[in-house]
Structure 1
Amino acid sequence: MGIFCEINIAKAGNGEFRAGDVVSGSIKYAVDVNTVFKNITVSLKGVGNLYIRDTQNNKSSDYFNKEEYVDIDSVIVHEEVLLPTGQYETQFSFALPENIPPSFAYRSNEYDYYIKCKISYYIRIKFDRPGMLQLPVRFKKEIAVRTDLIPTLPRDPIIYAKQKKVIKLFAANKIMSVKANIENSVINGGETVRFNYEIFNDTNVEITGVEVKLVEVHKFKASGLYDVKRYKNIGAQHRTAGIKGGDTQKADFAITIPFDLRTLQYSNIAFRDYFVKIKVLLPSFRRNFALHIPIEVGDKNGEAGVHSESPPSYWEVMGECIKDKAFNDNGWSTDEDM
């Protein structure tokens, strides 16, 4: 006995569905012998799966997490029925929920952790036959989902500041201070984030330089394991001259955000956020310090909405499926390196 299936999904704009869109299409299926079914169910499903293997200390431990974003069923056969040999067709139409994360795939094997995470959405048809030993037969087809950014950061100018106390024996403690002003913390891919900073060195220790860069951070939450983070520098990093004791340095910056960057919201297992890092470099016997300016990156093809329940910001909470693509891990660093 064989079951054959073809799932056809109506095309979405740019090949991707957005939260709230209707996913519709048809399913053609056939049986090559007369077959009794007790249920035939068409479903729209969205799930997130996270797997982390911790290989520290010469031993391996596995950690998992999973969450469900959408699970809608349409039962087309709900009692035992004999389907004669032949071909059949059924239509489906489902609405994606509003507050869901986008499709997402990530894989990394760096720094004592193997991380694999996938958020996927798909149409599935399941054939159930009577009998304890009859396993269900399933067919599914994935859809790509993109979601619009719901801002949690201000669109107006905002100031961030940080100080470092420099301790010196037999002398009063002095401070180094960095203050930055960003025009807009909510940016679309392809747009430019503009900010300026002022660093005052009220010490007799010379600042050897200042590094400015855009950083992408992924955070993963597996059950029974502390949060695992991965950082990646985006684009070129900029370095300015040193600052002598008693001097002040001011600078203006404009960093263009790549088109393919997106903040990842509405997931409790995976987070993707961005920040501008202003790193003050000190002599080798001193510890560097940095100011992080959080930004959120959206999609200029969509419009940021205002929901009654916006997702928490990262900064507040600090088969027939398509195979995961391997990601290039060049440029990743550990939390300690940041």
Structure 2
Amino acid sequence: MKITKFEIQLQNPQPVYYAGQTIAGQVYLELAAELDFRAITLALHGDANVNWTEHHGSGKNRRTVRYHNHENYLNIKLYLIGDGKEKSKLQAGGHNFPFSITLPMNLPSTFMGAHGRVLYYFKCNIDRPWKRDNNLHLYVTIVSLYDLNNDPNAVKPLSNNGTKTFGCLCCTTGPLNATLSLPKLGYVCGETIFFSANIENLSSKVMTKSSIKLIQTDVYRASTGKQRSVRRTILSHQEASIAPGASFTWGNVGLLIPPLPPSQLIYCNIIDVYYTVELSVDPSGIGFDLNVPINVTIGTIPLRQQYQHINYQNAAGPSGELPDASAPPPPSYGEVVHGKEAIEGAEGEGNTVQGGGMYAPQYPTYEFKG
């Protein structure tokens, strides 16, 4: 093997960037012997894909329909050395090829879901005459700037209530009443959603449990206009039963928001992301749950009134500078709750995915003091 080391090395130790930031680094190539080449190029690609199938009809008329969609966001290509036409040589030893790319502002956040994804990745190519090219892939997370300070509703308190009765028309019980209140609409990852909730069970039924949940709903849009939604519970707290005639008030409980993609997935037209805090009360026996939902917004830049409560420890930039109040604080990082997923089709003959072919998107989180 002439090539003993082939890496894309980023200045940022975590491959996570805000839209509008500059990605700087180098391609490092170590050769055991002289290498013939026409060019070494580095490309940064970004796109979104939606894909799912549905079955329609039955028997001989049963058919499978595939729904899909695609959007392209980035396709930047740099020639690090060579022009792709003339044959050149690289001597044995180590070679560094620096690069710098400034990201556009209007990029949607990296996202991986059940039926779609938004991905950004570097592809480095060594064009070798009369031989198979060498390709290297490195996936990065890009986070769009969702500034809660630009949303006048982000600071507004929210409340919702629900009522449910049980039994038939001629023999109904007293009502089950529930109220859920939040101090505001807008949050960022790493922040705790505090809430107040009250349940009044005036029915003759035992309420077996009550729970408070943070729910993520992903909406996928096919090119035909067909939509598909996937709803999943991110967090859940549960309390014990409520006897007939009794009441229960939730207290001293909050929902700590884990690393998540921001709401709406702005700048992406084929995937939307929504978040809901929902109070749910489960009756014993036959009967549907009483659900009291409130939609919330998860952004990437916190409200200014909270800056003094953010812990900037370990948040300094690469030169040790501290964040300024007008810019989003540099993030700390955690794996997204979806877990690691393989990138299909990235690895193959002549291709390498840096990091073993597995990719776990990461999103900025903030650590709030007291």
TM bin (shorter chain): 0.5 to 0.7
Question: Alpha carbons of 1:5 and 1:55: their partners in 2 closer, same or farther (altered >3 Å)?
Answer: farther
Q: Which ranges in structure 1 are unaligned for 5 or more consecutive residues?
A: 107-114, 307-318, 328-338
Q: Deviations over 1:4-45 (max 9, x none)?
A: 8734333226553222221112234579565556xx643222
Which residue is equivalent to 1:316?
none
Q: Does the 8 A contact of 1:199 with 1:250 survive in 2? A: yes
Q: Deviations over 1:108-167 (max 9, x none)?
A: xxxxxxx4644332222345689xx99876433223334554335522312223344768
Question: Alpha carbons of 1:324 and 1:85: their partners in 2 closer, same or farther (altered >3 Å)?
Answer: closer
Question: Alpha carbons of 1:248 and 1:27: their partners in 2 closer, same or farther (altered >3 Å)?
Answer: closer
Q: Deviations over 1:184-215 (max 9, x none)?
A: 2323344332222345667x654625512223
In 1, the alpha carbon distance for the partners of 2:9 and 2:358 equals 21
Q: Residue 182 of structure 1: CA displacement?
A: 0.8
Amino acid at match of 2:156: D
Pick aligned residue for 1:323 from 328, 353, 357:
357
Q: Does 1:71 align with 2:75?
A: yes
Q: Residue 93 of structure 1: CA displacement?
A: 0.9
Question: Alpha carbons of 1:326 and 1:117: their partners in 2 closer, same or farther (altered >3 Å)?
Answer: farther
In 1, the alpha carbon distance for the partners of 2:261 and 2:38 equals 48
Aligned residues: 300
In 2, the alpha carbon distance for the partners of 1:75 and 1:63 equals 37
In 2, the alpha carbon distance for the partners of 1:91 and 1:62 equals 43
Q: Does the 8 A contact of 2:208 with 2:284 survive in 1? A: no
Q: Does the 8 A contact of 1:3 with 1:32 survive in 2? A: no
Q: Does the 8 A contact of 2:192 with 2:257 survive in 1? A: no
Q: Does 1:285 align with 2:286?
A: yes
Q: Does the 8 A contact of 1:198 with 1:248 survive in 2? A: yes
In 2, the alpha carbon distance for the partners of 1:260 and 1:79 equals 42
Q: Deviations over 1:260-305 (max 9, x none)?
A: 3454533444444432221233353333231112233456679898
Which residue is equivalent to 2:136?
139
Which 10-residue stretch deviates more, 14-23 or 85-94?
85-94
In 1, the alpha carbon distance for the partners of 2:104 and 2:211 equals 39
Q: Deviations over 1:208-249 (max 9, x none)?
A: 2551222332425152553131312524322451453xx766
In 1, the alpha carbon distance for the partners of 2:244 and 2:173 equals 18
Q: Does the 8 A contact of 2:214 with 2:255 survive in 1? A: no
Which residue is equivalent to 2:88?
83
Amino acid at match of 1:17: Y
In 2, the alpha carbon distance for the partners of 1:326 and 1:125 equals 20
State, as a whole percentage, how many aligned pairs show the same letter. 16
In 2, the alpha carbon distance for the partners of 1:74 and 1:80 equals 15
In 2, the alpha carbon distance for the partners of 1:305 and 1:176 equals 47
Amino acid at match of 2:86: V
Q: Does the 8 A contact of 2:196 with 2:250 survive in 1? A: yes
Which residue is equivalent to 1:221?
220
Give the TM-score of the pair, scaled to structure 2: 0.61
Question: Alpha carbons of 1:54 and 1:136: their partners in 2 closer, same or farther (altered >3 Å)?
Answer: farther
In 2, the alpha carbon distance for the partners of 1:61 and 1:4 equals 46
SS of 2:210's equivalent in the other structure is strand
In 2, the alpha carbon distance for the partners of 1:138 and 1:259 equals 34
Amino acid at match of 1:83: S
Which residue is equivalent to 1:254?
253
Which residue is equivalent to 2:107?
100
Amino acid at match of 1:140: H
Question: Alpha carbons of 1:323 and 1:89: their partners in 2 closer, same or farther (altered >3 Å)?
Answer: closer
In 1, the alpha carbon distance for the partners of 2:248 and 2:28 equals 68
Which 10-residue stretch deviates more, 176-185 or 286-295?
176-185
Amino acid at match of 2:293: H
Question: Alpha carbons of 1:219 and 1:128: their partners in 2 closer, same or farther (altered >3 Å)?
Answer: same
In 2, the alpha carbon distance for the partners of 1:23 and 1:206 equals 60
* TM alignment of 1:9-88, pairs within 5 A: 9-12=9-12, 14-28=14-28, 32=34, 34-36=36-38, 41-54=41-54, 62-75=66-79, 80-84=85-89, 86=91
Question: Alpha carbons of 1:234 and 1:26: their partners in 2 closer, same or farther (altered >3 Å)?
Answer: same
Q: Residue 94 of structure 1: CA displacement?
A: 0.6
Give the TM-score of the pair, scaled to structure 1: 0.66
Question: Alpha carbons of 1:35 and 1:12: their partners in 2 closer, same or farther (altered >3 Å)?
Answer: closer
* TM alignment of 1:174-253, pairs within 5 A: 177-199=177-199, 206=205, 208=207, 211-221=210-220, 223=222, 226-239=227-240, 241-244=242-245, 250-252=249-251
Amino acid at match of 2:238: Q
SS of 2:121's equivalent in the other structure is strand
Question: Alpha carbons of 1:236 and 1:159: their partners in 2 closer, same or farther (altered >3 Å)?
Answer: closer
Alignment RMSD: 4.5
Q: Does the 8 A contact of 1:221 with 1:268 survive in 2? A: no
Which residue is equivalent to 1:330?
none
In 2, the alpha carbon distance for the partners of 1:282 and 1:35 equals 71
In 1, the alpha carbon distance for the partners of 2:359 and 2:136 equals 21
Q: Does the 8 A contact of 1:149 with 1:298 survive in 2? A: yes
SS of 2:216's equivalent in the other structure is strand
